[in-house]
Amino acid sequence: MKKKVTKIGVLTSGGDAPGMNAGIRAVVRTGLYNGLEVFGIVRGYTGMVEDDIYKMESRSVANIIQRGGTILKTSRCKEFFTPEGRKKAYDNLTKHGINGLVIIGGDGSFRGAQTFSNEYDIPCVGLPGTIDKDIAGTDFTIGFDTAVNTAVEAIDKIRDTADAHDRLFIIEVMGRDAGYIALHSGIATGAENVLIPERKTDIEEIIKQLAEKERRHKLVNLIVVAEGDEFGGADEIAKIIKARLPAQDVRVCILGHIQRGGSPTCFDRLIASRMGYSAVECLMEGKFNVFVGMVNNRMHYTPLNEAVKKKQRISEEWMKIVKILAS
Ligand code: ADP
């Protein structure tokens, strides 16, 4: 028989994402509602290793649903990669009597949770908190919708200038390994090209299109590029295009960290609330070492060991849509 979870810890780990606070709030309040004790673990796995852990009450999560970032703070923790670090973490959890964990983070954080739950008898449940949406087993991740909407708002503004001056803008969005922010924001802003890490880019084709558009005097062009594309981001693409088409007025805009922050959208608050609620239910029902995702608007549970192996696949059709709608 699986042991009963009575005291749970919640932490946010890895890159921050808007909506993490809504997730923490849901975990804390659902836990308390069900008679569990809830502990906040500060700065992700670092708080576990360094015993930065405190008891949370309902008021601890008041007035945070609308705030970006994470009240528990987050970090990348080198010590947790080592068996000694994880042993310290286990000892600290045991000291507080914590016998269940909710980890809000990306695939790296899930890998940490998976390793930890293999070694120690502390069940872990993950919530996908990452702006990159690069986790298989869920249609959306907490923070993605907000990040994309921030990118769309910025790109719309850039389009005004691109139009006024007949310029080519190359806009770099976040995504070192994943092109979802680029693909979604590119389609939503009518970009002519979207360059992403998951696909090879035919740069000759782009240059040919730009030359052809120059002839047709269609001079407003937006190219959205994920930071991890094969050329190494917007500056590099600009250099290549400038060298080949010197008449083009090329400008680069790197959106950077504005995409991480800000008040979460309604959608991110909703999924974070639903997922947080579900995570506590999982721990109470003995559905251990899974992460809670959403597929077709229903909760969906994927074992952590499967989650760390797979990535969401980019849709060929969506790439085709970019081309057809921009022609
Ligand atoms: P994200 O969760 O956003 O993908 P990271 O990849 O930086 O972020 O992972 C967050 C943290 O998870 C790491 O700093 C580390 O503490 C822990 N972690 C990641 N992978 C492992 C692993 N294989 N073993 C143990 N801990 C890990």
Measure 134 CA to ligand 1 centroid, in angstroms. Answer: 15
Instruction: For residues 15 and 124, state if they share a domain.
Output: yes
Instruction: For residues 250 and 269, state if they share a domain.
Output: no
108 in any annotated domain: yes
| Any atom of ligand 1 within 6 Å of the Cβ of 229 | no
Q: What percent of the chain has pLDDT over 70?
A: 99
Sheet holding 53-56, edge to edge: 53-56, 37-41, 7-12, 100-105, 124-128, 290-295, 298-303
Instruction: For residues 121 and 90, state if they share a domain.
Output: yes
315 in any annotated domain: no
Beta bridge partners of 193: 223
What's the pLDDT band for 227 if we cut at 50, 70, 90? very high
- The residue from 16, 91, 107, 132 that is catalytic is 132
CB 110 within 8 A of CB 304: yes
pLDDT at site 251: 94
What is the arithmetic mean of pLDDT over 160-188? 93
Instruction: For residues 171 and 32, state if they share a domain.
Output: no
Sheet holding 168-173, edge to edge: 193-195, 221-226, 168-173, 250-254
Q: Indicate which atom in ligand 1 lies nearest the CA of residue 81.
A: 25
DSSP-based three-state secondary structure for 11: strand
Q: Is the pLDDT of residue 309 over 80?
A: no
The CATH number of the domain holding residue 236 is: 3.40.50.460
Instruction: For residues 56 and 118, state if they share a domain.
Output: yes
What is the arithmetic mean of pLDDT over 129-158? 96
Which residue out of 42, 70, 76, 87 has the highest number of ligand 1 atoms within 8 Å of its CB and is therefore the one to mutate?
A: 76
pLDDT at site 94: 97
Instruction: For residues 181 and 202, state if they share a domain.
Output: yes
Q: Between 234 and 167, whose confidence is greater? A: 234
pLDDT at site 214: 79
Active-site residue flag, 132: yes
Instruction: For residues 111 and 149, state if they share a domain.
Output: no
Instruction: For residues 139 and 11, state if they share a domain.
Output: yes
Tell me how many degrees the CA angle 273-263-235 measures, rounded to the nearest 5: 120
Instruction: For residues 74 and 126, state if they share a domain.
Output: yes
pLDDT at site 307: 81
103: tokens are 């980890």
Instruction: For residues 104 and 154, state if they share a domain.
Output: no
For 281-302, write each residue's pLDDT tens digit.
999 999 999 999 999 999 999 9
Angle between helices 266-285 and 144-165 (to 10 degrees): 160
CA pair distance 194, 281, nearest whole angstrom: 40
Q: Among 188-192, 204-208, 310-314, which is the least confidently predicted range?
A: 310-314
126 in any annotated domain: yes
272 in any annotated domain: yes
316 in any annotated domain: no
Q: Is the pLDDT of residue 124 over 70?
A: yes
Q: Which domain holds residue 288?
A: 7-143+264-307
pLDDT at site 310: 76
Instruction: For residues 14 and 82, state if they share a domain.
Output: yes
pLDDT at site 2: 66
Number of domains the chain is built from: 2
Instruction: For residues 119 and 67, state if they share a domain.
Output: yes
pLDDT at site 262: 96
pLDDT at site 93: 98
253 in any annotated domain: yes
320 in any annotated domain: no
| Any atom of ligand 1 within 6 Å of the Cβ of 300 | no
314 in any annotated domain: no
Q: Is the pLDDT of residue 1 over 70?
A: no
In 52-75, which positions are buried (b, 16+ CB within 10 angstroms) versus exposed (e)? bbeebeeebbeebbebbbbbbbbb
| Any atom of ligand 1 within 6 Å of the Cβ of 221 | no
What is the arithmetic mean of pLDDT over 155-172? 92
pLDDT at site 21: 98
For 69-114, write each residue's pLDDT tens digit.
999 999 999 999 999 999 999 999 999 999 999 999 999 999 999 9
The CATH number of the domain holding residue 98 is: 3.40.50.450
